[in-house]
């Protein structure tokens, strides 16, 4: 499994709308081969991350080439103050 951790500074008063958008776009991404899931998390100090899981690195790369993902990336910018910070991980043990 391949995991992306995406940290983003959410605009003020956008949390509820962002949660709805995450749910809606998860339904779109769920149709993509190799997409496992995506969750939104919030730290105690108010920072937000998205945890996105893919079957493997190749699936992650292919999904990012789709028109659906391109639209989702454009829409994301409506919710965040600046570009997201991304880190990627291979799951090596469960």
**Per-residue pLDDT tens for 26-52?**
999 999 999 999 999 999 999 999 999
- The number of CA neighbours under 13 Å toward the Cβ of 46 is 7
The two three-digit tokens of residue 78, written as one number: 């409506």
Question: Strand, coil or helix: what is 27?
Answer: helix
pTM: 0.89
Cα distance between residue 24 and residue 20, in whole Å: 6
Per residue in 45-55, pLDDT (tens digit) is 999 999 999 99
Range of the domain at 40: 2-90
Cα distance between residue 9 and residue 30, in whole Å: 25
Q: Which residues, in sequence order, are CB contacts of 84 under 8 Å at separation 6+?
A: 6, 7, 8, 76
Predicted pLDDT at 94: 85
Question: What percent of the chain clears pLDDT 90, i.e. is strictly above it?
Answer: 97
Q: Looking at residue 29, which CATH number applies to its domain?
A: 3.30.70.100
* Count of domains observed in the chain: 1
Residue with tokens 């659906």: 68
What stretches of 9-47 adopt beta strand conformation (E)?
35-42
């Amino acid at each position: 499994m391949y995991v992306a951790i995406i940290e983003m500074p959410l605009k003020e008063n956008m949390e509820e709308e962002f949660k709805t958008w995450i749910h809606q776009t998860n339904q779109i991404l769920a149709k993509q081969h190799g997409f496992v899931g995506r969750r939104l998390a919030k730290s105690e100090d108010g920072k937000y991350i998205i945890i996105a899981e893919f079957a493997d690195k190749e699936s992650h790369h292919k999904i990012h080439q789709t028109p659906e993902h391109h639209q989702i990336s454009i829409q994301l910018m409506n919710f965040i103050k600046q570009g997201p910070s991304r880190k990627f991980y291979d799951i090596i043990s469960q």
